[in-house]
Amino acid sequence: MTPPTNHKRLILIYLLLSLWLGLLALPFLHAPSWAGLPILLCWGAVTLRLLFEVTLNRHRVPTLATSFRMCQKIVAVLQKEANPAAKTPFKIIDLGSGRGGLAHAIAATLPNAEVTGVELARIPYLESVALQRLFGPRNLSYEQKDFWSFDCRQADAIVLYLAPVTAQKMGEKLARELKPGCLVLSHTFPLGGNWTETETLTIHTPFKEKLHLYRHP
């Protein structure tokens, strides 16, 4: 039997959560009250995400956001790397930027960097653009594109949080395209191809997440 992919696991988790919250919400559907509103809202949000993952997420990379602790670590690594006195902005690309939480945190902390999020799925892309229009920062932009055809040659740093097979394949694309010295930070999944990790950081979250660091030769 083949093991379930991360995407299937995520769908299973959303399904179980939706069933559980649905059971909790049932009495409030029969007798509506303000006390039941938070449960109904959570149930609605989880069920909508479940429907999105099952019907619209055709490329099967889970649309999970990077945790707060991991965001902090990624931002700290990039802060050390970017020279604030440099004449040209430090270019950072988030490949598969989802709803933009990580890209936003990076751009907000590094005002001299130029951050681009690349996201294929329309709904998270539109959410991220709406948030950027409302709250900035101005050094952040998004492109709704397939990252396999996105040109990464200008990047000074790449961040990614994908799925095991996608990260393996992405290693080959990045090895062909990146300029010498470019830094790659891969959340959880190691890159495939001829990459040698310069460092692996463990983030002390309940899941002991790993951040894989690489430098293009």
Ligand X SMILES: C[S@@+](CC[C@H](N)C(=O)[O-])C[C@H]1O[C@@H](n2cnc3c(N)ncnc32)[C@H](O)[C@@H]1O
3 state SS for the chain:
CCCCCHHHHHHHHHHHHHHHHHHHHHHHHHCCCHHHHHHHHHHHHHHHHHHHHHHHCCCCCCCCCCCHHHHHHHHHHHHHHCCCCCCCCEEEEEECCCCCHHHHHHHHHCCCEEEEEEECCHHHHHHHHHHHHHHCCCCEEEEECCHHHCCCCCCCEEEECCCHHHHHHHHHHHHHHCCCCCEEEEECCCCCCCCCEEEEEEECCCCCEEEEEEECC
Q: Kindly tell me which of 42 and 65 has the beta carbon lying closer to ligand X.
A: 65
- Segment 45 to 64, residues that bind ligand X, using CB under 6 A: 59, 61-64
Site string for ligand X, 117-156 (x = CB under 6 A): -xxxx--x---------------------xxx--------
Q: Kindly tell me which of 98 and 192 has the beta carbon lying closer to ligand X.
A: 98
Q: Kindly tell me which of 21 and 211 has the beta carbon lying closer to ligand X.
A: 211
Q: Kindly tell me which of 58 and 87 has the beta carbon lying closer to ligand X.
A: 58
Measured from the CB of residue 197, what is the shortest distance to ligand X in angstroms? 19
- Segment 58 to 97, residues that bind ligand X, using CB under 6 A: 59, 61-66, 94, 96-97
Q: Interface with ligand X by CB under 6 A: which residues?
A: 59, 61-66, 94, 96-98, 101-102, 118-121, 124, 146-148, 161-162
